[in-house]
Structure 1
Amino acid sequence: MKHYDAIVIGSGQAGTPLSKKLANAGLKTALIEKRWVGGTCVNDGCSPTKAMIASAKAAWSAYHNKNIGVFSEIVKLDFAAILKRKNGIVQMMRDNSEQGILETENLDLYYGSAEFNAEKELSITMNDGHTEIFTADQIFINVGEKPEIPVIEGLEETGYLTSTTIMELNEIPEQLLVIGSGYIGLEFGQMYSRFGSKVTILEPSERILSREDGDIAEEVTKILSEENIRLLTNSKAVSVSRNEKRITVNLESNGEKNALECTHILVAAGRKPQSAALKVEAAGITIDKKGYIKVNEKLETNVKGIYALGDVKGGPAFTHIAFDDYRIIAANVIRQENKTTEGRMVPYCMFIDPQLGRIGITEQEARDKGLNVKVATLKNSSVARSIETGDERGMMKAVVDAATGQILGASILAEQGGEIVTILQMAMMGGVTYDRILNGVFAHPTYAESLNNLFMTLDK
């Protein structure tokens, strides 16, 4: 039996820096990782997908550039080179992360799977097969989520891809059916469409992006449809079957039954926490009905000295939120501060093209809460920079408190939408009212300058 001051389970974007911070503070620390260091972000999520999305954007631009007078007679897609570049980025980031861990004093890295035996006791089944028992004064859980697979007749037998396994394909799917129209589904759908796949996306609701405002969802639908991506709303897969290389999918669409064929199925219907494998019940840790570990505003579970960080605790499943979880715990555990999750902003960006950057509340959320707001909207066809660069797709939108002028939220569907919305987030953080941005002097012609014009729509 080995005893540590602290054990961190999972080396994601919260677990890795936390383990190093604890060790540097003089605590004897163990970091347990069952696969590769870096977590989903480095290995399966942010870094590899955005690298491949960049390649897909370049392919799209080669054809789109004819609109600004540049013609590409031959566009060659080297998918092997795209994968090699992606894999190289992942390996570099993974290796750098691992090296940083191994060079940290007081920190031991173990590759294996953990499960609780008791409140502060873990069995670690190492990847070489042997098992060791660890105990610790404090335990920090950062095991993340994994794809949730819906129950569809014949799906398991037919075979399917997830956001992880699709990036292991050495070929471009001829016909790709995407089940789900969330961020993963839309990003992969557009990416593979640009690589040459014929893409169909299924969504059981009335429209895609149900958490976004209707006008934003409508704009995204228009953009994807213009790229010949087929969006089937009010539709769900009932059963699937395979005949050699073809897959038949039986659907219910708008109350009617029909079928379509594809060569590959990507399941992007949500994710679920990886808490079950930990056997958290043995430690008395409380979870909700979906398996997410319940925590308080300081990220501590109902068991004193056991914390949960990142996606496994539920709430916004973003890398930057997991990293902020690490900062909160490090401040409280090491420096004895009193930081909490209450009131923190949750920005995010969906990396379709153009990007959808988001911060704060939507117009619909404001209306539902009965808030007195003003809403500024601006189509990118009225933005000088968009016109000049030849990409007028999308729109900008901001929700403002009618009485105080404070910015309550924004949705930016535009080239560099994630960067533009960050400007508005900074304004929100600093209490900068919309009129100050309206009258601000920004360099011309930039995307940021369009925020002048966005807020001008409120003063008409």
Structure 2
Amino acid sequence: MKFDAIIIGTGQAGPSLAASLAKNGYKVAIIEKGHLGGTCVNVGCTPTKAYVASARRAFIAKNSTALGVEVNGSIAVNLKTIKARKDKIIADSRTGLNKMFTSNENITLVKGKARFLDNHSVEVNGKTYEADKFYINVGGKPRIPEGFEGVNYLTNESILELEEIPDHLIIVGGGYIGLEFGQMFRRFGSKVSILDRGDHLLKKEDPEFGKAIADIFKDEGIEVRLNSDCISAKKSGDEIEVSINCKEGSPTIKGSHLLLATGRIPNTRDLGLENTDVSLDEKGYIWVTNELQTSAPNIWALGDCNGEGAFTHTAYNDFQIVNSHLFEDKKRKLSDRFTCYAAFIDPPLARVGMNASDIEKAGIKARVATRPMAKIARAKEMGETQGMLKIYIEAKTEKILGATFLGTGADEYIHTIIDQMYARQPYTVIRDAVHIHPTVSELIPTMLENIKSLE
């Protein structure tokens, strides 16, 4: 049971690393306690974006009259069919991973839960596996706050197993998970109430974006209650009653289903890391260096469990960083990475780099370019004018510090800014570029012709 390397977890970073190690002659074991593919394939990006696609089709079918398209008769949403389509996509991904592992003579797939015995060995199902190098890729799980133990709550994982549309879905948490599921199930036909303790949705973003999203959601018939700290829940007949610490509105709300979207925590507490030299922070994330090495020199941590990103794309970049130090001439580092992500609501919100709050905290003198979607011709033509674009520029260097886009297609054209930031060129390169008309992204050069000081 001795290997050159052992990988714990088959999320985004694990399979790619296993394939690269095996290609380079390593004898590799990859350990998985659950389904192959980790969060993204099973309960994250893959299934939720399949549901988002179905929800958008339903919304378009019901809301195209203004564009001259009239649908006669009722629009029915079949959640069983939506779920079956999702399950097929997931099954195909799992099958592909299983084939990759089992067909490679240098890779051994071990099913079961791993627990470290020391820096060089783990136990799985009563057997000991040893290796010179370990790569932890165990991901995260939903955080469940106190006060909700006595009710049959849903998480981002279990809600994907429903086969009937909830009558009234209460969502605790106004982050991107809560917002995606909220809009999705509203479009499926549920009454939806979103409760958030903050004074605006998506607390990490500039407040105007959270407020704009709240207005979009309210227009779709979604109840949004801010400054609402949900402290407990209990059964009330056939319903669930949530108690709220709030300044305005009723201190309780009842619904048929409750989704807890209150953040995620790393799967590190029961790995036996106390038997190793691996250090954790106060939240349970594994401390890593710029090369993703832990405080144990032969152990690395990749993906959500290291606290350096909670996305599929950052997990894959973690693989790229580790792989570069193993086999490539150009060495990558964690510090090379710009934070970027999207909330796949409709219209989507996309973000890269710093926002106004970050810039203020850093004491950077900056300028800003803005444009409402309502002043973009393509958005008008599509009948999708909700949202706004903002780009932040460092006054001294003229380089882009970050951008936040809320609008149709924002999750795609944000990459114009991401690529420019990685090129480390001044904003004037985009400003002077010629983009295709008619598109939304053609207005990025135009808005950069009119930048103002950030107050």
- Aligning the two structures, in what range does the TM-score lie when normalised by the shorter sequence? over 0.9
d(CA) in 2 for partners of 1:419, 1:226: 24
Letter in 2 for 1:124: V
For the 8 Å contact 1:142–1:310, the answer to whether it is kept is: yes
**Structure 1 counterpart of 2:271, one-letter code:** L
> Which SS does the other structure have where 1:55 is aligned?
helix
Distance 1:172 1:256, change over 3 A: closer
Alignment match, 2:225? 232
Tell me how far 1:324 sits from its aligned partner.
Answer: 0.6
TM-score (norm 1): 0.95
After superposition, what is the alpha-carbon deviation per residue over 1:293-326, rounded to whole angstroms, capped at 9, x for unaligned? 1111111111111110000011220111110110
Which of 127, 134, 137 is the matching residue for 1:132? 127
How does 1:3-402 map onto structure 2 within 5 Å? 3-74=2-73, 75-125=75-125, 131-152=126-147, 155-254=148-247, 258-335=251-328, 338-402=331-395
Shift of 1:378: 0.6
The CA deviation at 1:337 is: 5.8
Equivalent residues of 2:146, 2:232 under 8 A apart = no
CA contact (8 A) 2:119 2:298 kept: no
Total equivalences in the alignment: 452
Deviations 1:252-285 (A, max 9, x none): 1127762111011101101111011211111231
Shift of 1:357: 1.0
1:434 to 427, 431, 437: 427
* Residue 406 of structure 2 is aligned to residue 413 of structure 1: yes
Query: What are the ranges of 5 or more consecutive residues in structure 1 without an aligned counterpart?
Result: 126-130
Larger CA deviation: 191-200 vs 68-77: 68-77
SS at match of 2:393: strand
Residue aligned with 2:448, SS: helix
- Residue identity in the other structure for 2:59: W
TM-score, reference length from structure 2: 0.96
- How far residue 444 of structure 1 moved from its aligned partner, in angstroms, is 0.7
Structure 1 residue identity aligned to 2:251:
N
Question: 1:189, 1:54 → 2: CA distance?
Answer: 14
Q: Taking structure 1 as reference, are residues 416 and 263 closer, same or farther at Cα in structure 2, changes over 3 Å only?
A: same
State the alpha-carbon separation in 1 of the partners of residues 192 and 446 from structure 2.
36
2: CA distance, partners of 1:220 / 1:256:
20
Residue type at the aligned position of 1:238: I
1:431 offset after TM fit, Å?
2.9
- Which deviates further from its counterpart, 430-439 or 444-453? 430-439
SS in 1 for 2:245: strand
My pick for the range that moved more, 162-171 or 338-347, is 338-347
CA distance in 1, matches of 2:331, 2:427: 32
- Counterpart Cα distance in 1 of 2:452 and 2:136: 50
Kindly report the root-mean-square deviation, in angstroms, between the aligned alpha carbons of the 2 structures.
1.6
The whole-number CA distance in structure 2 between the counterparts of 1:21 and 1:221 is 45
2:350–2:410 Cα contact (<8 Å) kept: yes
Q: Residue 238 of structure 2 aligns to which amino acid in structure 1?
A: K
Residue-by-residue CA offset, 1:383-406 (whole Å, 9 max, x unaligned): 010000111011111001223322
Moved more, 79-88 or 132-141: 79-88
Q: Percent identity?
A: 36
Distance in 2 (alpha carbons) for counterparts of 1:375 and 1:263? 45
Q: Following TM superposition, by how much is the alpha carbon of 1:32 offset from its aligned partner in structure 2, in angstroms?
A: 0.2
* Distance (Å, rounded) in 2 between the aligned partners of 1:225 and 1:275: 39
Farther off after superposition, 27-36 or 329-338: 329-338
Moved more, 30-39 or 253-262: 253-262
Query: What residue is the counterpart of 1:128 in the other structure?
Result: none
Structure 2, unmatched stretches of 5+, are none
Q: What amino acid does structure 2 have at the position aligned with 1:31?
A: I
The CA distance in 2 between the partners of 1:238 and 1:255, in whole Å, is 15
